[in-house]
Amino acid sequence: MANDSKVWLITGSSTGYGRTLAETVLEKGDKVIATARKPEQLEDLISKYPDTVKALRLDVTNPEEIIVAIEKANAAFGQIDVLVNNAGYGLIGALEEVSDAQIKRNFDTNLFGAINVIRAVLPVMREQQSGHIINMSAIAGFTNELGFSIYGGAKFALEGVSEALQGEVAPLGIKVTIVEPGPFRTDFIGRSLDRAEEQMEAYQGTVGKFLNFLENIEGKQPGDPGKAAEAIIKVVNSENPPLRLVLGKYAYSKFRNKIESLKTELDKWEAVAANTDFE
C-alpha cells in the first residue's frame, strides 16, 4: 500500500452520502471498508473494485455486530485511517406526535450507534497514533427545524460528543470533524425519513409546514452529493481540518443566522444573566 493511500470505514454505504463517498474515495485510489445492513447491495461496487473494497454487514444499533465489524475491518487492510459515521435516518413529527419506539430507534441509530462505532475504532487509531473521525450531522444538528426535535436532538448530542472528543484525541494524533449538510439530492426525504405515527391538527401550521417544504423539494434539493464527497475528502487530506464542515448555501445561511441570533440574545440578557455570581 502506498504511504499516501488511506483506508476508509464508511457506515451506511449502500445509499446516499455513504454510497457516493465510497465511490469517490475508490475512484481516487484509496481503500474502503463499506458497511451496510444489507451488504449484498454493495456487490456492484465490489465487482468494480475487487482489490480495494470490502463489504461488511453492520447494523449500528447492534453493539456485538460493531465489535465484529471493526475487527474484520482492521484485519482486511491492516489499518483504519478514516471513520465516517454516516449511517442514520430522519424522523419528522412534533415532540408530542412521535412514539416512544420511534424516539428510541432514532437515538439508537443516529447517536448511540455512532458513539459505539467510535469507541470500537479508537483503540485501532490509538495504536496507529493517527486517524480521522468524520461524524455526519446535519444543519439541524446546529440550528434545529420544527418537527426535527428528535432527529435534530440526536445530531445536537452527537455534535456535543464530537466537540469534547476532538480535544480528548488530539494528543493521540486523531482528528475529528462534524459534517453539517443542508438539503442534498439523496434519498433522505424519501426512503430515509420516518414520519410520526400520529399527525395532530394542532401542529399542521408548524411541523406540517416544514414537512410540506421537504416534500416539495424532494428531487430538487440544491446540494450535489458528489461535491459533498469531494469536500469531505479535501478535509481529510488537510493538515488542519475544521471541527465543523458546513455544506451548501442553505446550511451556511442557517448557520450564520443562528450565530447572529445567539449574539443578539446574549447581549440583550447580559445585564441580568451575567450578574448572578457571588459578590
User: Annotated catalytic sites, by residue?
Assistant: 137, 151, 155
Rounded to 10 deg, the angle between the 63-77 and 114-128 helix axes is: 30
- Terminal alpha carbon distance of the chain: 63
Cα separation, 125 vs 172, in Å, equals 8
As given in the structure block, the three cell numbers for residue 222 are 440544491
Q: Please give the DSSP secondary-structure letter assigned to residue 235.
A: H
The SS3 call for residue 30 is coil
φ, ψ dihedrals at 94, nearest 5°:
-65, 155
Distance from CA of residue 3 to its chain's centroid? 28
**CA nearest to 85, candidates 107, 110, 120:** 110
Report phi then psi at 199, rounded to 5: -110, 115
Contact 52, 28 (CB under 8 A): no
